[in-house]
Structure 1
């Protein structure tokens, strides 16, 4: 038996707690919601410490939907989270009360065909935090499957732990790219995912990484990485810069991390013959792909949807001296100022990389 007493009075577990709730488009409130309930034998209760604001959270706030996912009922926001274990279920052996953890927000059906194949991220029945109709984690406590809860090494802060979720996207993308030591890489888009992908590519052996964006202010967080080279898309063409730097050959791997439909018009000009194009950003509307251009150079095309089996690698890499996730945090708001934090997120300031909300003590 590995059960433990919760740090919270068990008699209060069924009571309400405040949460950050998207009531409808353009309306967020902090208000009571039902508590997470009791802990099952394979679950843990976690006191949430920090939650990052993701672009998807902001998109639900500003647009009320992402593709087929529509906010029809009030929804608790947040899926990038870290915290401290308060209680463990009877069958949990790898975690203990007091452990600092981060949580993988997508829970698949373990019996699904996708899960058995190891691609549980594309399980049609996956339940992902803050994706309608599933509630997120912007609340003081959550109950979560222990198998999707990961202990943080001492070198990582809880704030950095909340960045593991978007970093897992980057690590998954770099893994699918199959980067080799010395590869030249190009990244389109210097938003949070683009920046993290550039960092992951550098840490995975890329000799040079060229990152383009129309807002050069976004490059500030990359100055600590001497092998990452910013390209101001308003002044320079990424493909031309890469070709000039590689004697006309091109990049071994190109990551599209902007999701901007305009980026696809010239996407095939940057990769080298036999290279790879990894689609990380998700366009909000259909885009055109020049298949003939890709075929003419036998480009390998990979697509990325969230991640699968990437959290352990992301944690190990984040804890290495090659990565500094903490430097990407632009601002941290207390729980009671969560609405202000989302309003800032909706502003999309080019100098912001990651905005977080401190939930602990809420």
Structure 2
């Protein structure tokens, strides 16, 4: 089985990976076998490529990358009832222990035993086929494309963040960071009821993309404008009801409370590789609520429904598509962080 393999830090290859064939020969009674169609390149994939690790997760041996995916069911286990061969699907990449305490409490995303694609030592899915549980495989409506379906995974982060924020109709939100996660968070906040969403970044091309997503999105260049002053001006000095931190920058995270309204909520989305500091006094005088996001839970079906209804449109975020044979080049380009790109995807041969 040919796969995109991270051999070690800064070294990728497209090669046969027979170990996966051996591991996935047996289809469980409630599993489905899927032929992969489209796989998105995530920032975590790129980080493993350029750094060889993310926090405690270290690439100690060759690992297949990729976890944002859509495909077609080609085989089902004998106890599968909701899917059949030929069904178009997207897949939730994290499989928890069904008997863990976290899973039983409904927080399966924080189960310490969760097995998440392309997180060492678990292989990803930039390969022709995979075996996956029926329970974490979702049927696609006819009007949702494979490319849109491969966006469900990052969109799930935004929907989870908007849900944790407890957005009310008419709220004003600020999203710090116009990368893929920041932009899906912005459109998720609008879908949840925000009247206006401010999006900040240092890259003008990304802000242009943000502005094109909705007339209710206001881009703010954090390099040349004072974000707090802009929001204060537009809210009569009150501030934003919700602030989403999606940059992963310690400097940005340190200032999350300055533009926040009294009684507002800060949602920390951006991954921080090291401990950070923030102004506890500023949080206290606002009685700010702080939420933290780790992936998502219970939102994939919601994402699919919103894509199907048109409530959310992710197509403008897909800025470049590569053939599977060009996967190594795709990652090299993604690692260079072109300012005009949001989401790059790879299509596998059919």
Q: Same fold (TM over 0.5)?
A: yes
After superposition, residues 90-101 of structure 1 pair within 5 angstroms as 90-101=78-89
* Counterpart position of 1:213: 201
2 CA distance for matches of 1:193 and 1:185?
A: 15
* Counterpart position of 2:9: 25
1 CA distance for matches of 2:44 and 2:225?
A: 29
Shift of 1:153: 1.2
1:197 partner SS = helix
- CA shift digits 1:154-181 (9 cap, x unpaired): 1210011000000000000000001010
1 CA distance for matches of 2:309 and 2:325?
A: 33
2 CA distance for matches of 1:54 and 1:296?
A: 37
Q: Are 2:307 and 1:323 aligned?
A: no
* Counterpart position of 1:183: 171
1 CA distance for matches of 2:246 and 2:16?
A: 37
Q: Are 2:262 and 1:278 aligned?
A: no
* Counterpart position of 1:159: 147
**Moved >3 Å (runs of 4+):** none
In structure 1, runs of 5+ residues without a counterpart are 1-16
* Counterpart position of 2:229: 240
After superposition, residues 27-106 of structure 1 pair within 5 angstroms as 27-34=11-18, 35=21, 36-106=24-94
* Counterpart position of 1:148: 136
* Counterpart position of 1:170: 158
2:232 partner SS = helix
After superposition, residues 298-317 of structure 1 pair within 5 angstroms as 298-317=287-306
1 CA distance for matches of 2:63 and 2:191?
A: 37
Shift of 1:130: 0.3
Shift of 1:134: 0.4
TM-score, length-normalised on structure 2? Answer: 0.97
Q: Are 2:100 and 1:112 aligned?
A: yes
After superposition, residues 187-198 of structure 1 pair within 5 angstroms as 187-198=175-186
2:349 partner SS = coil
2 CA distance for matches of 1:351 and 1:38?
A: 43
Kept in 2: contact 1:212–1:238 (CA 8 A): yes
2 CA distance for matches of 1:146 and 1:265?
A: 42
1:239 partner SS = helix
Q: 236-245 or 55-64: which moved more?
A: 236-245
* Counterpart position of 1:8: none
Q: 216-225 or 144-153: which moved more?
A: 216-225
- CA shift digits 1:122-179 (9 cap, x unpaired): 0001000000000000000000011000011112100110000000000000000010
2 CA distance for matches of 1:98 and 1:360?
A: 16
* Counterpart position of 2:339: 350
1 CA distance for matches of 2:3 and 2:293?
A: 31
Q: Are 2:111 and 1:123 aligned?
A: yes
- CA shift digits 1:76-117 (9 cap, x unpaired): 000000000001111111111111000000000000000000
TM-score, length-normalised on structure 1? Answer: 0.94
Q: What value does the CA root-mean-square deviation take over the aligned residues? A: 0.9
Shift of 1:221: 2.4
Kept in 1: contact 2:208–2:219 (CA 8 A): no
